[in-house]
């Protein structure tokens, strides 16, 4: 197991104060968007890694990371992870040296400061299923977004996906996955790397309403585990049945089956942690 120490956090500061100081510093870092250059994705990624390590330093977070060797150095790859907090993206940035492009909620591309970073890293937007009305306009939009994911994978990108759609700050239960983006994983037969993010505890401000409480930070160590990689075309009926999944289309796994199988693999990583 590899440990990334970002702070020794010996300061006796109240959790509430520490949370809000983190938010302020987070905003100040993104104000330095002049460090990000148009079209320079690799350089921008390295700058964002520095941002991330500073944010983790502010929260006093240590990352205990294992399984980095399961991420290929090159080639079409999707890291699929559970989602506890907005801090998750910084944990992944700090730990993974290969340039990743996040598949992010479309609303984030309209968020001040953050939209500049997402654009500089060539991230890909996707509309949350809860925002869709499933009319013709929405269907055309989601089809275009799925095509963008497919195109990026065919070009050999490494993408990161949080298929729960939202942060689950309530507890460590992994919610059901939205299966839409898994269509691209099937089309490209990319390498899928399941990843589990485990927090020992999180800080939630009492001044935030329910919708805002995704803006939480972890307390203490974060466990980041990358499981064994697999390709959809290599999965068999026996592989799925081991996790109680029976979802096939013409003797091939479909996107719902791949979504459920990947979630089961992440749940297995979670169970092994305890």
Q: How many helices (H) and strands (E) does the chain have?
A: 8, 12
Write down the pLDDT at residue 6: 43
Strand order in the sheet with 62-66: 2-5, 62-66, 221-226, 191-199, 77-81, 158-161, 101-105, 124-126
pTM for the predicted model, two decimal places: 0.86
Instruction: Give the Cα separation of 147 and 143 in Å (integer).
Output: 6
Rounded to an integer, what distance in angstroms lies between the CA atom of residue 48 and that of residue 68? 19
Q: Which domain holds residue 84?
A: 2-273
- For residue 117, the model assigns a pLDDT of 77
**CA distances, 161 to each of 43, 232, 241 (Å):** 22, 16, 24
The CATH number linked to 126 is 3.40.1130
Question: How confident is the prediction along the chain (274 residues), in pLDDT tens digits per residue?
Answer: 444 444 433 334 455 555 556 655 555 555 555 556 666 888 888 888 888 888 787 777 889 999 999 999 999 999 999 998 878 888 999 999 999 999 998 888 887 667 777 888 899 999 887 777 778 888 888 899 999 999 999 999 999 999 998 877 667 889 999 998 999 999 999 999 999 999 876 665 555 555 555 566 676 789 999 999 999 999 988 888 888 887 666 667 889 999 999 999 999 999 987 6
The separation between CA 29 and the C-alpha centre of its own chain, rounded to angstroms, equals 20
How much is the pLDDT for 11? 34
Q: Per the structure, how many domains does the chain have? A: 1
- What's residue 2's pLDDT? 46
């Amino acid at each position: 197991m590899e440990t990334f120490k970002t702070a020794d956090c010996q300061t006796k500061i109240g959790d509430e104060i520490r949370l809000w100081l983190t938010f302020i510093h987070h905003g100040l870092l993104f104000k330095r968007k002049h460090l990000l250059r148009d079209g320079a994705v690799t350089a921008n990624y390295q700058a964002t890694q520095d941002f991330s390590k500073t944010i983790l330093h502010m929260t006093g977070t240590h990352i205990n990371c294992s399984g980095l060797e399961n991420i290929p150095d090159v080639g079409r790859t999707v890291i699929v992870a559970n989602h506890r907090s907005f801090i998750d993206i910084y944990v992944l940035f700090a730990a993974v040296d290969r340039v990743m492009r996040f598949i992010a909620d479309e609303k984030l591309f309209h968020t001040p400061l953050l939209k500049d970073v997402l654009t500089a890293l060539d991230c890909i937007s996707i509309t949350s299923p809860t925002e869709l009305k499933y009319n013709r306009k929405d269907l055309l939009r989601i089809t275009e977004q799925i095509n963008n994911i497919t195109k990026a994978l065919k070009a050999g990108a490494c993408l990161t996906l949080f298929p729960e759609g939202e942060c689950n700050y309530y507890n460590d239960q992994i919610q059901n996955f939205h299966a839409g983006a898994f269509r691209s994983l099937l089309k490209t037969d990319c390498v899928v790397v399941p990843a589990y993010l485990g927090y020992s505890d999180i800080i939630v401000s009492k001044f935030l309403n329910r919708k805002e409480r995704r803006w939480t930070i972890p307390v203490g160590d974060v466990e980041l585990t990358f499981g064994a990689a697999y390709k959809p075309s290599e999965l068999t009926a026996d592989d799925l049945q081991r996790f109680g999944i029976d979802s096939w289309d013409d003797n091939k796994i479909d996107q719902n089956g791949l979504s459920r199988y990947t979630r089961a693999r992440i749940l297995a990583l979670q169970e092994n942690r305890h």
